[in-house]
């Protein structure tokens, strides 16, 4: 190339390339977020509370932000598989994690996982919380929690309880009951709550802790027996079902003060721009503070949660401390 032509090309490139760079930068600025589909990874199987509420939230965010939010179920290994996929994703706001207190439990229950929650993720916002209900297969002889505890003490290891996997609220509610009541029951983990629920309904497994909104209809139709709920107060949805703690007050050793809940939240890979995290927090808060949403969820036994990013961060850290203590006291292990 002649010298003059080469110099001309060089000058042209010097003039044009900054323009392309500025254009590329503008296309990825947080202020333009989102400008392509956002993937929300739910590390649990379809059909459970995380999946149902994750899809609800994704639709609300899609409506509000004018971009597609795709729910991607990645169950397995007590939520570790799907969660690790998010941890390894680009921190650009286009891959999010629909998480639960399974994740805060796993910080002390699964020490060999390839990520740490507060090191590798950025908290965005909580979604909601609900109490659980302990149900028994329809033909189980025990009709109350005290009767169940008596039977478990008489035949250690004879009763079985299903869960949606290691570290999930359903698993840990059972471990906490075993520890506080001083009984032995066999934990049967599934890859998701749907499989666990199916086998309890079918009578293959004796017991299960499940989300109240998911199990209420089966209780009403007599497919399972409700033995207790896990809040400190009775559920407005199941007002005739006593709490586990009430059994402690009635004399069942060690159960007074028992409490176990299921809560959900949203996180992103660490390093996601603060502007995007704050934008998502604001949009989730609009959903959880909407009076119609709050009423609809309350009718299902679910409490909407609204926090800013700092409040949610403190909430997560406190929950990790809480479950570290419970894992240690209960002796819970990954099966």
Closest CA to 209 of 252, 175, 254, 236: 175
CATH fold, domain 131-249, is D-Maltodextrin-Binding Protein; domain 2 (3.40.190)
- Rounded CA-CA distance 316/329 in Å is 20
pLDDT-based confidence at residue 222 (cuts at 50, 70, 90):
very high
Read off the pLDDT of residues 34-67 as tens digits, 9 standing for 90 and up. Answer: 999 999 999 999 988 899 999 999 999 999 999 9
On the question of pLDDT at 296 being above 70, the answer is: yes
pLDDT-based confidence at residue 196 (cuts at 50, 70, 90):
very high
Read off the pLDDT of residues 112-136 as tens digits, 9 standing for 90 and up. Answer: 999 999 999 999 999 999 999 999 9
Contacts of 193 (CB under 8 A, 6+ apart): 44, 45, 47, 48, 49, 163, 164, 168, 170, 210, 211, 214
Task: List, in sequence order, every beta strand (DSSP E) within 199-314.
Answer: 207-211, 224-229, 261-269, 302-304
pLDDT-based confidence at residue 252 (cuts at 50, 70, 90):
confident
CATH class, domain 36-129+262-330, is alpha beta
pLDDT-based confidence at residue 18 (cuts at 50, 70, 90):
very low
Task: List, in sequence order, every beta strand (DSSP E) within the chain.
Answer: 38-42, 69-73, 95-100, 121-137, 160-163, 186-189, 207-211, 224-229, 261-269, 302-304
**pLDDT of the residue at 331:** 82
Extract the tokens encoding 223: 């497919």
Contacts of 233 (CB under 8 A, 6+ apart): 243
- Rounded CA-CA distance 226/207 in Å is 10
- Partners of 129 in the β-ladder: 263, 303
Read off the pLDDT of residues 130-171 as tens digits, 9 standing for 90 and up. Answer: 999 999 999 999 999 999 999 999 999 999 999 988 889 999
- Is the separation of the CB atoms in 262 and 101 below 8 Å? yes
On the question of pLDDT at 5 being above 80, the answer is: no
**pLDDT of the residue at 12:** 39
- Partners of 136 in the β-ladder: 207, 225
**pLDDT of the residue at 272:** 98
**pTM given for the model:** 0.83
On the question of pLDDT at 20 being above 50, the answer is: no
**pLDDT of the residue at 160:** 97
Are domains 36-129+262-330 and 131-249 of this chain identical in fold? yes
**pLDDT of the residue at 334:** 78
β-strand 186-189 against 160-163: which pairing, if any? Answer: parallel
On the question of pLDDT at 260 being above 50, the answer is: yes
Taking all residues of the chain, what is their mean pLDDT, rounded to a whole number?
90
- Partners of 220 in the β-ladder: none
On the question of pLDDT at 3 being above 70, the answer is: no
Contacts of 49 (CB under 8 A, 6+ apart): 130, 193, 211, 213, 214, 262, 264
From residue 288, give the alpha-carbon distance in Å to each of 99, 128, 224, 244. 16, 8, 31, 28
On the question of pLDDT at 30 being above 80, the answer is: no
- Structural domain boundaries in the chain: 36-129+262-330, 131-249
**pLDDT of the residue at 29:** 59
Read off the pLDDT of residues 306-335 as tens digits, 9 standing for 90 and up. Answer: 999 999 999 999 999 999 988 988 888 875
**pLDDT of the residue at 223:** 97
């Amino acid at each position: 190339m002649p010298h003059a032509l080469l110099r001309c090309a060089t000058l042209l490139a010097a003039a044009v390339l900054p323009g392309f760079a500025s254009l590329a930068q503008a296309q990825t600025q947080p202020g333009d977020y989102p400008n392509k589909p956002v993937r929300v990874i739910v590390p649990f199987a379809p059909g459970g509370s995380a999946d149902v509420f994750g899809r609800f939230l994704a639709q609300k965010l899609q409506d509000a932000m004018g971009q597609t939010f795709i729910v991607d179920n990645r169950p397995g290994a007590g939520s570790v598989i799907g969660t690790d996929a998010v941890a390894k994703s680009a921190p650009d706001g286009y891959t999010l994690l629909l998480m639960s207190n399974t994740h805060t439990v796993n910080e002390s229950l699964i020490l060999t996982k390839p990520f740490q929650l507060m090191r590798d993720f950025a908290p965005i916002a909580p979604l909601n919380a609900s109490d659980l209900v302990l149900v028994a297969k329809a033909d189980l002889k025990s009709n109350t929690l005290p009767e169940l505890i008596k039977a478990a003490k008489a035949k250690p290891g004879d009763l079985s309880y299903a869960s949606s996997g290691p570290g999930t609220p359903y698993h840990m509610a059972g471990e906490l009951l075993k520890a506080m009541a001083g009984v032995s029951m066999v934990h049967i983990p599934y890859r998701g709550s749907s499989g666990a629920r199916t086998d309890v309904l079918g009578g293959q497994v004796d017991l299960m802790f499940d989300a109240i909104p998911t199990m209420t209809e089966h209780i009403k139709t007599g497919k399972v027996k409700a033995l207790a709920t896990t809040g400190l107060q009775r559920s407005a949805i199941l007002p005739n079902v006593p709490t586990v703690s009430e059994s402690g007050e009635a004399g069942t050793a060690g159960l007074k003060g028992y409490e176990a809940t299921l809560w959900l939240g949203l996180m992103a890979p660490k390093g996601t721009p603060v502007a995007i995290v704050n934008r998502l927090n604001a949009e989730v808060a609009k959903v959880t503070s909407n009076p119609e949403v709050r009423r609809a969820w309350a009718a299902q036994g679910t409490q909407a949660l609204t926090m800013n990013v700092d409040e949610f961060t403190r909430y997560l850290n406190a929950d990790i401390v809480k479950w570290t203590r419970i894992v240690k006291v209960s002796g819970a292990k990954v099966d």
